Amino acid sequence: MPTDHRFTGQRWEQGLGLYDYNARWYHPALGRFVSADTFVLNPNDPQSLNRYAYVRGNPLRYVDPTGHFIQCTSDGTCYDDGHSVSNPGFTSYGADERRNALVEYNNKLYGWVRKGYTYDGRAITDLVALAELSDYAASMIPTDMGDRASVFAYDIASVLTKQVSGVGGKYYDRTRPLQQTGFDWVFQDPGAGGNQPHHFWFYVYQAMANGRGVAVLGNYAHETFLCRYSRKAKGFVGRSYQDYALGDMGGRLGSALRNGDIGIEDTGNWIRTTLSPGGGGANYWNGAHPSAEFEKRFYALSLAIAGATIFSIGEGQQGR
């Protein structure tokens, strides 16, 4: 049964055969809500005009998040600010204006996550923050702007990473990095890292800028042959199967954005449903999908080969 993430405390009303989501009634037999949504997501999208539908008629692919941007007060009270990807607070053709606004919102989200704030009874995790940041970035790009997908990917990359060509660390604040709460365990770095949105969006950017092939090869090399091998620890330091999995998912999202398979307005939903515990991407990597065992064995073999190669090179250099 699909759930509407804007509403918590679902209750079954036996007399009516309905589920109550504190604001909208859902009829499981009809597969639709029997009360209208409070706003039209996109007036230009015929699917959005049906306010009784659930997630644009595609519940296998999407869930319905808040639809609005989270704001919190100093006492920890969080609420919808009334703006969304279809009703933005403002749009701008200027990259500097958009990115500075993203930095400000990123820093707010970082604080809310670290302080343990909740919204609608749910914790604001780093994963929620990344999805909110994505929604916010999408909302600021004018609809008539060319190549909105690239603008979107580069805007977020400018805030979460330092690798955007010609931008560097201008908008990157290393003191407030979103981390890894809310991600499925298979995407959480077990080492001393944990700056998963940074890691993930680097490969979104690479796939958007250079194609998925470059992102895949870069992720593979970074997590195996190009990483540091410690003879003292007898293993790789700061690299993991989890980072390898998350980098691959970043490449997939970047490729989907580049090819137009997913719109920038849908990216926040993709993050929520794909990287969260039990999500589609998580199931692919953590064992629920038949390919998971192959991926684990392939990565372990690659690490072993890389370790033997790097160790042999180091021994050879010492013998000179």
Distance CA 167, CA 79 (A): 33
Check residue 121 and give its pLDDT.
86
Q: What percentage of residues in the chain have a pLDDT greater than 90?
A: 40
User: How far is C-alpha 87 from the chain's CA centre?
Assistant: 21
Q: Give the β-pairing of 32-33 and 18-20.
A: unpaired
Per-residue pLDDT of 33-90, as tens digits, reads 666 654 444 445 555 556 566 555 555 444 445 568 999 998 889 999 888 888 898 9
Helix (H) or strand (E) holding 274: helix 267-275
Partnered with residue 20 across adjacent β-strands are 11, 25
Per-residue pLDDT of 144-182, as tens digits, reads 998 999 999 999 999 999 878 778 778 888 788 899 999
Distance CA 286, CA 305 (A): 23
Q: What percentage of residues in the chain have a pLDDT greater than 70?
A: 70
Note whether 264 and 149 are within 8 A (CB).
Answer: yes
Per-residue pLDDT of 256-309, as tens digits, reads 999 999 999 989 989 998 999 988 888 888 876 778 888 888 888 887 887 666
